[in-house]
Amino acid sequence: MRSGEFGAAARLSPKALRLYAEQGLLLPAEVDPATGYRLYDPAQLRRARLIGRLRALGLPLARIGYLAELSPAARALELRGWLRAERDRLDERAAVAEAVGDVPEPGLVAAVRLRDVPERKAMSRSRRIDSTGLREHVSTAQRDIRAHLGPSGEPRLVFFEDLITPDSDGVVEVAIPFSGTIDPVADLHVRLIPAHTAAWLAVPPEFEDMPLILRVYDAIEAWIDNQPGLRACGHPYETGPGTGALFDVSYPIVEVK
């Protein structure tokens, strides 16, 4: 079958057929050396239709290639697992959409306070992760740093250089301030956290988890925006255990004219 006839039977466009051939997913049975026409075996129609349906699900080509080689039973099992994961991601996005409002929580905004934070040395580990890896990164880094510091460590800090989500990664630094002299080791670095003023909020228990924790960040940002002469600087961070809470959220701020 010529490519046009084959594509019509498989309900695939010429562009799709060329892409699948380039990716090795659906190679022509023969290419006419004189004309360059691509010829397909009718027996390839079943695979072609399967690839088209998997692509309609939004699956990447590499995963489609893997699924196309499985038995029908194994492929169905893989797709059920993929569908569960997609539903979980959709539920999480729906929860984030509900948590993100145009108006910050008035009670949270009213609870924001200022404090002066002294200069401190800290041992830290940084990783580029998405939100699904946050809990493990914080736990592992804290364990390894405390094992190296011994009893001199203070409450841990978690700095966020970017907003992280299940679909977007960013650099997250776990740091533990300490006193005395400690040598860095492997990927545990020692750095100086400058003295600064922070706008901070002790996180109420009902706002500790994603996505409601976003409202705490929104409240602090709204509070800073409403303070003439102040603006945020540096990366926000969480301190835990916090002041009367499991953890606090802080934004370094500076005075501006």
Full set of structural domains in the chain with CATH: 3-69 (1.10.1660.10), 106-255 (3.20.80.10)
3-state DSSP call for residue 139?
helix
Measuring CA to CA, which residue among 83, 100, 119, 112 is closest to residue 193?
119
- Residues 157, 165: contact at Cβ < 8 Å? no
Tell me the per-residue pLDDT of 100-139, one tens digit each, with 9 for 90 and over. Answer: 666 678 899 999 999 999 999 999 999 999 888 999 999 9
- Residues 216, 160: contact at Cβ < 8 Å? no
| Cα–Cα distance measured from residue 183 to residue 145, given in angstroms and rounded to the nearest whole number | 12
If one compares 43 and 93, the residue with the highest pLDDT of the two is: 43
Determine phi and psi for 45, rounding to 5 degrees: -60, -40
Tell me the per-residue pLDDT of 228-249, one tens digit each, with 9 for 90 and over. Answer: 999 999 899 999 998 889 999 9
pLDDT at position 81 is 93
Determine phi and psi for 120, rounding to 5 degrees: -145, 150
Query: What is the percent of the chain where pLDDT is above 90?
Result: 65
Measuring CA to CA, which residue among 203, 256, 202, 216 is closest to residue 232?
256
3-state DSSP call for residue 117?
strand
Q: What is the pTM of this model?
A: 0.65
